[in-house]
Chains A and B, each alone.
Chain A
Amino acid sequence: ETVMTQSPATLSVSPGDRATLSCRATQSVSSDLAWYQQKPGQAPRLLIYGAYIRATNIPARFSASGSGTEFTLTISSLQSEDFAAYYCQHYNNWPPTFGQGTKVEIK
């Protein structure tokens, strides 16, 4: 099973600042990597798939990069609605697995 590790666990950021989240896989997952956003009391929502492709209706301030084992999600200018938990997930092999999440909180 491929283990996904996210860092940091918590990120304190001021509104308008940039946030950079990391995700690492224990083996190559090529570009089969997705990022999800989850707000309290809600189901996760797809932000990014294919390592860097924004999902439908996702604002351009969300960008992502990486391939193989190292991936990054960047939120260029944090808005109030962006404070949430973010999860990476690979879907390269079975079973797909998730990282443990990064909580982005208001500084």
Chain B
Amino acid sequence: EVHLVQSGAEVKKPGESLKISCQGSGYRFTDYWIAWVRQTPGKGLEWMGAIYPGDSETRYSPSLQGHVTISADKSITAAYLQWSSLKASDSAMYYCARLGSYATSPIDPWGQGTLVTVSS
């Protein structure tokens, strides 16, 4: 069975850095894209970007490029989402999710989510 297990909730201050993780299991990690999606009460579900762990090809949503970095370590079947300087507006639930062999594929399954709270 395919599983994506995310790291735990985080509480950070504006300006701090953060890296959250997503551990994949139950499938060939290098053959499927991994996406990051955020959810907020105000903006709903928002696609952030995706990475292909096989060769680390990465694609970002134009609205978010430059603010976050997506990476992966195929040796430990993990994907990451990181910020160098958090803003209060980064407070959200973040989901990792498996796509298909193309970056434009439906999502199945989703990780359980990582809640990030940024507050002074």
Whether chains A and B associate is: yes
Binding site for B on A (CB under 8 A): 1, 32, 34, 36, 43-46, 49-50, 55, 87, 89, 91-101
Q: Could you give 13 example pairs across A and B, Cβ below 8 Å? A: A36-B107, A43-B95, A44-B95, A44-B107, A55-B108, A89-B107, A93-B104, A94-B103, A94-B104, A95-B61, A97-B47, A98-B44, A100-B44
Interfacial chain B residues near A89, Cβ < 8 Å = 45, 106-107
The residue in chain B whose Cβ has the minimal distance to the Cβ of A87 is: B45
Determine if B45 and A49 form an interchain contact, defined as CB atoms under 8 angstroms apart: no
Binding site for A on B (CB under 8 A): 44-47, 59, 61-63, 95, 103-113
Determine if B45 and A43 form an interchain contact, defined as CB atoms under 8 angstroms apart: no
Determine if B47 and A46 form an interchain contact, defined as CB atoms under 8 angstroms apart: no
Determine if B106 and A95 form an interchain contact, defined as CB atoms under 8 angstroms apart: no
Determine if B45 and A98 form an interchain contact, defined as CB atoms under 8 angstroms apart: yes
